[in-house]
Structures are given as structure tokens and as C-alpha cells.
Structure 1
Amino acid sequence: MADDAGDDPATERTGETPDDATPADGEADAGAAGADGDETTATGASAAAEPSDGADAEAADDRSGADAASDGSPPGPDVGADAPGDVPRDVRKYDRFQKMDRAEYDRVNEFLRDRTYVTAREWAIARLCADFRTETGVEMTKIGENLPRLVPFMTDTYTPQAVNQARASFEEKVRKAGATFLYGAMCGFFTAEDLDDMMYEVTEVAKFLLEVEGVDLAVEEELAAEDRISTVMRDVREASAEVRGEEVKCPECGHVHEP
């Protein structure tokens, strides 16, 4: 609108239109009429320029909205358009990952890949699936639409299908890692001391991830959990030794020969 308004006054000021052309003989009446025309043109230019202020204001509002969207607003469909009241109450109150408020995805992903088989997105979505589970199942849509609000280092929204894919990937990796670990514990490759050391290391990583999620573990609880895990692993080793010794167990006396 401002551009269209600017074209007409410029044309009038240059005197290129037939209405504003002055006679060549320079008569006084024509000169006076030309002066009046200039004043009218100036007034018209001012009036025509006034709407451009509104256009500038609208453009400024658009720019300020774009700047606000780029200052930390998570990307995704209609982000920033919803009022705080439109965000579900349980999403607004969710504070699992507040300790990672300024963390970057790549740093989190690197830490996890060095110590586990899962990625940062699989870890975050697995946690959310556990927290947003109802009697009818996991709230995939709610998790995906509010992912950047729930997890600081996730910067985009997910479809329900993408959430389900990450959840399934996490489950598959845990199952494979569990089978690998249990085989190592049962096959006799590790001694009892090796298993104790290994369980201490992996327990420390698991506890760290829980603490990052906001779980507050007391020292007594940590020690009790470590004792229970060690007891379970000793039982697993003893049970697996019996399984491995079944083939050399004497059917007469029941004596078990070491494999």
C-alpha cells in the first residue's frame, strides 16, 4: 500500500501528468493555479503517506513476531500461536529434564553413545513414554506435539509415528543389550569379581541418567540398590553354572564335574 501511495505523489511533483502541466506563456492566473496545484499535491502526498505508517507498524509487528519465534521458541507447526492455557497442564508441570536446560542435542547424544547403545532422542522419548502412559496406552500425540517443551535439548516436534518409532528402537536395543549382558554373565566368561566391577560401572551410568531426569537418590538407597543388584548377579552366575554343568552331571550320584 505504501509503495502505491508513493508513486502518485512523485509523478505529480515532477509535473509529468497533463493536469499539472503549466502553459508556456507564463500567465499569472495559470501560475497561481499551478501553485495551488502544488499545494494540493503536497497535501495529497501527506495524506497518501499516512497509510504507510500502518503498513510499517504491521511489518514491525511481523518482524518482532519472527524475532520472538527465533529466541528459543521450538520449531514446529503453529509454534508460538497457542496461548499458555492451550498447553496441557501435565506438560506445563513436567520438569524431568530441567537439569539439562541449556544442553545441546549433539553433546547429550555423544555422551550416551559413548556409554550406552541408545541415542538422545530414544532416551528422552522412552522416558516420556513411561511418564505419559495411561490405561489405554502411551499418549504419542501429546508427546510429539510438546516434545521441545518437555525436553530442552529436543528442538522439533514429532509425529505420533516418529515417537512410536523411537520407542520401538529403544526397546529393541535394550532387549539386545540385555541378552548380550546376560549371556556374558551366564557363559562363564566373567568371574564373580568381574561381574561385580561391571555392575558397579553400569549402575553408575544408570544412576547418573536417573539423576539428570530429576530423580533424587539418597545414599542409603543407592547402596541398597547396589547390594540387591550384586546379589541378583551372584544368583544368576550360580544358576548359570548349574545350567552349564547339566551335561556333565553324574546321573548316579549327582556329582557335577566342572566343565
Structure 2
Amino acid sequence: MRFGVLGPLTVWDDEGKPVAVPGTKVRALLAALLAYGGGPVSADRLIEDLWGERLPGRPAGALQTKISQLRGALGRDRVSYRAPGYVLRLDDGAVDAGRFRTLLEQARADADPAARAAVFTEALALWRGPAYADFADAAFVRTAAAALEEQRLTALEERAEARLELGEHGPLADELSALVARHPLRERLRAAQIQALYGAGRQSEALASYRELSTRLAEELGVDPGPALAALHRSVLTQSLEPPAARPAPRLLLRPLPRSVYPPPHRQPHRL
């Protein structure tokens, strides 16, 4: 059985077919157990997550009902109690978020920019929408969802840097514009966009992007761009920026990951 949290909460059986988990509270219970890494999670914690201040008449009994319903959907041995709380049994590679992180590690260990970009693309293709999308307003998934979103953005930045090494400046410059607009204060992302614009022969746009970031940082945070970005700006200004070189680290051979059963969205290479 596989679980998807990189988008709406989804469960698949071993053949990749969706498994129905009926009821909003039952789905919330599953989301909570996944957000806590499978548990153990105390009954009090789960009751607060599911009902907050609007407690049912018999909270412990109501939780037991939801536990029973979740066991009915997933199998009785999938959810158990082990002091100090409830545990969701997860097989190796059972959660798409875990496979996402494993692929990121594999990509970062590869010195070949083409291979690195391809594995980052494979990892990003696991995303079907915002993490825990159908529980975005729930406090119990907020920390886990925010951590995953940060990992996703970092992966997008690292893939962009790999593509810069491959000389894909023109397409990358166009694709990064929308991402920079959504995350205008991320300096690493902005640096990739500036390098792509410059490499595509769009020096004035590269300089304008730096000015826009500098203004935003000053107005919103009261700080200047970091030293690395300032140095990049000087290189663009003096037309002395050299193309990024591939990392000299040796290539590591990793054991291939098993084929994923998570149904990915349309796999469009290099799409940001």
C-alpha cells in the first residue's frame, strides 16, 4: 500500500489502484498520522487535531470509531496502538514524500548535470499539487507541509543550476520568470534567473531583475542582497560572467530505486 501527500491525500494499493478512505474525519486522521511520520501519536493529540475546541460528547469513543473506520479502509494490521499512541505501519518507500527525498539525495550525489537534472525532474513529477492539499488549513499538517514545500523549491533551484551547466539559458530564463514572481525574495532562485537571462543575451533584463530584488529586500526586510548575489550582479554589469562549470566531484553509483507506483502527473521534462 502506498500513500500520497504531495497533493491531495491519496492511497493506492500494491497494484497502483486508488483505495477509498471515506469520511472527512477519517481522512484527517490518516493525514495526521502521516504528518507525524506514522506515529506513535497520543489519543489526546489526535482528538485535538480532529476536533479542536468543538469536541464530541465522548471524545475517546469518537476517536475509536474513526480508528475502526480507518482500519476498515486500510486493513486492521495497518493501524495499531503502541504506547504512547497510535501507529500507522508504513512499508519502505510507502509515502511519496519519502521517495521524493530519496530522489533528491540521489540527484545531489551525481556530478553529471544532465543526470542530475533528470533525477530532479523525476522527483518533482511526484507532486500533484500543494502538500496535504485537502488539509491545507489544518494546523496538524502545517509544519510537515511547509517543510516539503521548502524542499520542493530547493529542488527547483538545484535543477535550474544543473540546467545552467547544460547551457539551457533561453528556455530556463522564460520558465523561471513565473517561479520568481511567486517567490520574489529567494536569492538562490533569483541568481539562477539572472544567470539564465545573461546567458540568453538578455543583460538588461538580468540587471533589472537584480534591481527589483534589491528594492524588495530593502523595502520589505531592510537588508541588501547577499554577497554572492552582489558579486553576480557585478559580473553581469561588467559582462565578465563565465558560464557555470560542472562540479568536479566524482560520480557515485547508487542502487536504482524501485519503480514508483505513485501515478505522476504529465511528465514534462524541465518544466518549472
State whether TM-score is above 0.5. Answer: no
Q: What TM-score do you get using the length of structure 2 for normalisation?
A: 0.28
Q: Highest CA radius of gyration, 1 or 2?
A: 1
Q: What TM-score do you get using the length of structure 1 for normalisation?
A: 0.29
Q: Which has the higher helix share?
A: 1
